[in-house]
Structure formats: structure tokens, C-alpha cells
Amino acid sequence: MGLADKLAALEEELARTQKNKATEFHIGILKSKIAKLRKELSSPKKSKSSGSGFAIKKEQDATIALVGLPSTGKSTILNALTGAKSKTASYAFTTLSCIPGVFEYKGAKIQVLDLPGIVEGASRGTGRGKEVIAAAKASDLIVLVLDVFDPFYRDKLIYELYEAGIRLDKNPPKISIEKKSSGGIKIVSFQKQDISNELIIGILKEYSIHNANIILQQKISVDDLIDFLAGGRVYIPSLTVINKIDLGTDKLKDVNYEYVPLSAQTSQGLDELKEKIFQKLNLIRVYTKSKFNKVDDVPLMIKKGSSVAEVCKKLHRDLLKLFKYALVWGKSVKFPGQRVGLDHILQDGDIVQIIKK
């Protein structure tokens, strides 16, 4: 039996197994076996020299990916946001490659990727699914694009992304493992867990971990543990857009999730979309001051919670080696011109002067 057949058999067994307390252990082990096989099947063959994703450089402050069904208006949204010339038409599968464009908002240069439409089975490679997923994984924000005619396809989009290892609007689980040569498995948990120690140990053994200390800093699920052990997961914020609202539909009254209403064709809702994108990207503006005490008019855009070290990396790759200290003016310091180190966390609007050795 080949890997694909084994996977299909396990998935079928999981689907027909009723979920209850008695089957909890069995389901957990099945899920871990399935995750291992999927990883094995999705790993690129050594004989292949080329990658599976679109060749797109991340050259701006942030990158967002437009992900949706064919013919939901992703190309029209790209054109409305950036002025990029992505071919548009009212029939499916117009975009056959990844089209990039850039727009500027509040000092941030944001790259937008118009990806080919995602279809059922994309996580397994259907409809250029592997390339679409690879580009989405590399983005800083995923914009789920639906239209007024099928606003309920959102769950299927999320499912395809989930199956491909993309976790939307989640943080990585706070789990760490210290492997050792003997002594079995010891579980250290900071919170009471809903899953049993027996199941945790069983899943660890599926991943050939027989001697280790596992530290759980939060309450976790079986899926969290498998995600941590399997690897290859990315955690990305998302935003949902329902396009073509100018065409109107009664279906929207039954939508129970948060979304940005948009007509890319008429630009209705475009300003709100830009603002929501900026908020979701969690960017802050930091201004640099030269040794001549001139403050740069154009801010550096960095992620909220970033340190002085991130500013150094953005300015020049060798600046970390030459760093002596930094002087900071703004909300993150107690007084203007305070001397700080590389680990100092900056806030929006701060001015930073890097002093070299």
C-alpha cells in the first residue's frame, strides 16, 4: 500500500469514528498519523530542482495575498488598490499567474499579490493550489475575497488554507521540548489540560520522541500539539472582504462573520479596506535621526513590538555588528534622547539615532 492509499484509509477511519471521551485517544493518534503522512507526501522530491511557489520578491514594508474563488474580483481589487494591470473578466480563471502591485498608505508601502483562484482540493495541488498556497504562506496578511453571490464559501477557503498548514488569526502554541537520552517523557504544564497525559505521550511517541521534557505554557488542543511537532505551520492574520456589493443581494443579511463590504468596480469601501489592512498588519512608524541631527521625513515601517535591533536590520545588514547604543525620543522612553540597547521596544512615532562603535 502506497503513502497516498495509507493516508486515504486513515482519513476514512477518522471520518467514521464517533467523537466521544472513549475515542479521544484513538482520534488523537489517528490525527498525528495523518499529519505525518501528509507532510511526507507534500515534501518536494529531491529530483526536482525548482521550487513550487511563484517567484515573488518581498521588497516592501508588508505583503498581503488576495485569496478567493475564481471570479470573485481579486484582480479588480488589485487594480483599485494599486493601479497594477491585472487582466480582469467576468468569467472564472482569468488570473493564471501571481500578479503583484504596490500601494502606499500612512507611509507604508504594501505589496499586494493577486493569486489565481483557489478551488476545492487546492491544499492537495488542485488548480495550481501548491503555488497559491506557497505564496499565501509567505504573506504578512491574507485577505479572503468573497462576493455577494456566494458569501458562505469562506469556511471552505479557511479549510483549504488550514489543510495546507496556514493557521489564520492564531498564535503559535507555547510549547517547548527538551530531549534527553533516557528517563521517559515528563510533562510540565502551567495550566490544567483538557487532554490526558496518556494522549500527549502517545502523540509524542508517534513522532519518535521517547525521552524528553515537554513544557506546556498554555492550555493546548491535540491539533496544537500536532502542529508543533509536525512543523511547517505558519500563523497569519486575516481579513475578509465581500466584493461586488454594488450588485446587491439578500444573502448578506445571513452573514455572521466580520467583513469589509466593497465594490472594487466603483471604489465603494476602498478607503475602509486600506485602513483595515493597515490595522491588521500591526505596523508602526519609526523615524531615524542622522549623526547631523536631521530627522528623516520618511518613516521606517516595523511591526508593533519590534526592538531597536529590527531598525538596525532594516537600515543596513552590518549595523548590528557596529552598534554601540541608540538614542530615542518618543513614547517608548522616560525622557527625550534616552540611551537604550538593541532590545529596547519601540513605539509608534519614536525617533531613533543609532550610535556606532
Cell 508602526, located at residue: 284
For residue 17, give the DSSP letter: S
Supply the pLDDT for residue 60: 84
Supply the pLDDT for residue 46: 43
**What does the pLDDT average to over 89-114?**
74
Residue 249 pLDDT exceeds 90: no
Which pairs from 25-31 meet CB under 8 Å and 24+ separation?
Answer: 25/196, 25/198, 25/199, 25/202, 27/222, 28/195, 28/199, 28/202, 28/203, 28/222, 29/199, 29/202, 29/203, 29/206, 31/222, 31/223, 31/226
What confidence tier does 49 reach under pLDDT thresholds 50, 70, 90? very low
Residue 141 pLDDT exceeds 60: yes
pLDDT digits (tens, 9 = 90+) for 148-180: 998 999 999 999 999 889 999 999 999 999 999
Axis crossing angle, helix 197-206 with helix 222-230, rounded to the nearest 10 = 20
Q: Give the integer Cα–Cα distance in Å for 351 and 328.
A: 6
**What does the pLDDT average to over 121-132?**
68
What is the 3-class SS of 220-260, one letter each residue?
CCHHHHHHHHHCCCEEECEEEEEECHHHCCHHHHHCCCCCE
Contact in structure between 119 and 126 (CB atoms under 8 Å): yes
> Of residues 65 and 55, which shows the higher confidence score?
65
> Of residues 324 and 290, which shows the higher confidence score?
324
CA angle (278 as vertex; 275, 284 as ends), nearest 5: 130
CATH number of 283-356: 3.10.20.30
Beta-strand relationship, 166-168 and 234-236: parallel
For the chain, what percent of residues have pLDDT higher than 90? 68
Mean pLDDT across the chain:
88
For the chain, what percent of residues have pLDDT higher than 70? 89
Intervals of CATH 3.40.50.300 along the chain: 62-170+234-281
Supply the pLDDT for residue 54: 57
Q: Is the dihedral of CA 89, 91, 97, 98 positive or negative?
A: positive
Q: Give the integer Cα–Cα distance in Å for 319 and 267.
A: 43
List Cα–Cα distances, 327 to 214, 299, 311, in angstroms.
41, 16, 13
Residue 121 pLDDT exceeds 80: no
Supply the pLDDT for residue 86: 55
pLDDT digits (tens, 9 = 90+) for 292-327: 889 999 899 999 999 999 999 999 889 999 999 999
**What does the pLDDT average to over 249-270?**
91
Residue 205 pLDDT exceeds 50: yes
Residue 337 pLDDT exceeds 60: yes
Q: What is the DSSP string of 273-325?
A: HHHHHHHHHTEEEEEEB-TT-PBPSSPEEEETT-BHHHHHHHH-TTHHHHEEE
Q: What is the DSSP string of 174-218?
A: -EEEEE-SSS-EEEEESS--SS-HHHHHHHHHHTT--SEEEEE-S
Intervals of CATH 3.10.20.30 along the chain: 283-356
Q: The domain at 62-170+234-281 falls in which architecture?
A: 3-Layer(aba) Sandwich (3.40)
